[in-house]
Structure 1
């Protein structure tokens, strides 16, 4: 059966604050836990005033402390921004605090522009093998429970022996190939970059090598949901996220804006086409409409898990949208692997 989870970028709204966004994140995680979701993920972004999850491991600790059973993790940590040992220590600490509940999704994008990347002291390594090497090194720190410290000779404390589940993230074919080669679960960013989704899933499943972690492929797909009591209201809620994408693509990113009625129809054709592309994996509408779109997406992808996301300006409207989506999903036929 296909599982359901939540990706929260911890949006900062116009007129809102980082403190309120972080309080909302904990509340959203509790809500997702109540709805029976499998996991709550947040993601590393830097230099973006509309996203409050830059210190990702800190946010994960905040959310895990506010919940009891739901898995909490990163979707993801941009590993080239960090020394693998530092991430092993951070997530080893999180596992010690919240045993058996911590996920670590790994991506290779900077999560920022080049100027911010330089401020992070990131080395822009053009070697295509750098990211795979860092992933394997990170795995060795978690596996190095003996005094020798595993393959590096360094023992991560905390970190050695931690029960942290690693996932490879991607929006292209590279991540699919790496996840398959290492026998790790794979999460595709179809919620904002759906173009290569079908090819990436095919490559991942065809080339998958069983590992100590996983016997068979496990694919998670990002999916946007804007659900409300009417289609008109759902379209209205979705306009905040649409504004964010237009602002980002036009070089003017900022805080999440209030919704605007008729926003999509007011756009020049080039921006409308851009939104149609980046938000292709989206269900907007009533419970019945969301159910139909979710069923079609699961049929197409055979996803083992959907991780839902949405940037909705009003916190309570966002919670209601998630509730409607969960109820609709519960009535959606699941596809056998």
Structure 2
């Protein structure tokens, strides 16, 4: 592994596979491959993709497929899901898919799972054909999934490939639910601070205070999400960040769009009420915008505050060259 660290902390990449306004999923996938190859060479630790549905600006709906595509185009960086929304799927199917991925790319695949639908209720129904599943069912699904990776010759249903493979399972969350479950199961935990910053510290405390050692981990391991918009000038970084702000605005209005290009004055687009709501989701602690020196200082403060074992960086930037440059600036800070 060529992993480098920022002040002792490994950094990873969350790619939401953005489809730019006027572009296509095919172009998004080309950009993802190029980004993955660059960040692998720059020393980032993981490259994760997230399951979303019915969202015209995100191309990673068939998450397992794009994970395989990225893994095939890289050499050693870990590739995984941030995450698979388990209630959308039969657990056997996920075990088989990730068993296949791990068989193709041994020692490189992560399986991060969440319990949200990754979309709206109508889309959840289209995926599941029922909305009868309950929150209480998620731990049972997790147990089923873990069982498929164990060797059990007496089981009536077994996962081939999958059985006997060591595929790290992570729990993902944006509230305290998955923090509690990850602690009880002794699993690594990834918190979505990049869109739920107000719950970050409470969820991490719950996870660490209640952690039960397991065969997987003997102590808690928390990865925390952060948005970074880094550029050579503060003005350009602020300008680049308006693409993500517009994306959050479209979601808030219930009108998801492709990722829009940056604009000069975001205040012309949103109301004061919308601005306040979006700034709560993209607050200055977990959304870092600025020059290399500014980003370095703010990222250090973020790690000091969260005591993150690892940080996963999302950079929802419209222009691919600017996106590469943002990650390159962060890479230059790593040792």
TM-score normalized with structure 1 length? 0.94
Aligned match for 1:63, one of 56, 70, 73: 70
Alpha-carbon offset, residue 176 of structure 1: 0.3
Give CA-to-partner distance per residue, 1:36-58, whole Å, 9 cap, x none.
11100000001111100000000
1:183 to 186, 191, 204: 186
Runs of 4+ in 1 over 6 A off after TM superposition: none
Find 1:119's aligned residue among 126, 135, 138: 126
Q: 1: CA distance between counterparts of 2:104 and 2:256? A: 35
Contact 1:76/1:169 (<8 A) preserved:
yes
Corresponding position: 1:148 with 2:143: no
Unaligned runs of 5+ in 1: 332-337
Q: Distance in 2 between matches of 1:35 and 1:189?
A: 24
After TM superposition, give the deviation of residue 32 of structure 1 in Å: 1.2
Residue 256 of structure 1: SS of its match in structure 2? coil
Indicate the residue corresponding to 1:315 in structure 2.
Answer: 320
Pair 1:279–1:122, CA change in 2 (3 A): farther
Contact residue 223 and residue 306 of structure 1 kept, 8 A:
yes
Q: 1:191 to 1:323 in 2, by over 3 A?
A: same
With over 3 angstroms needed to count, the CA separation of the structure-2 counterparts of 1:122 and 1:171, relative to structure 1, is: farther
> What SS class does the counterpart of residue 120 from structure 1 fall into?
helix
The CA distance in 1 between the partners of 2:198 and 2:322, in whole Å, is 29
Helix, strand or coil: the match of 1:312?
coil
Match of 1:52 among 47, 51, 59: 59
For residues 121 and 176 of structure 1, what CA distance do their matches in structure 2 show?
25
Are 1:222 and 2:248 an aligned pair?
no
Q: Is the Cα contact below 8 Å between 2:249 and 2:270 reproduced in 1?
A: no
From 76, 84, 88, the equivalent of 1:81 is 88
1:297 aligns with 2:287: no
Contact 2:229 2:290 in 1 (8 A): yes
Residue deviations 1:290-318, cap 9 Å, x none? 01110111010000000000211101110
* CA shift digits 1:243-285 (9 cap, x unpaired): 0001110111110011101225763211221221111211100
The correspondence of residues 264-303 of structure 1 with structure 2, limited to 5 A, is: 264=267, 267-280=270-283, 281-303=286-308
Say how many residue pairs are matched: 326
Of 40, 47, 54, which aligns to 1:40? 47
* 5+ long unaligned stretches in structure 2: 1-7
TM-score by length of 2: 0.95
Deviation at 1:12, TM superposition (A): 0.2
* Equivalent of 1:202 in 198, 201, 205: 205
Q: Give the alignment's Cα RMSD to 1 decimal.
A: 1.2
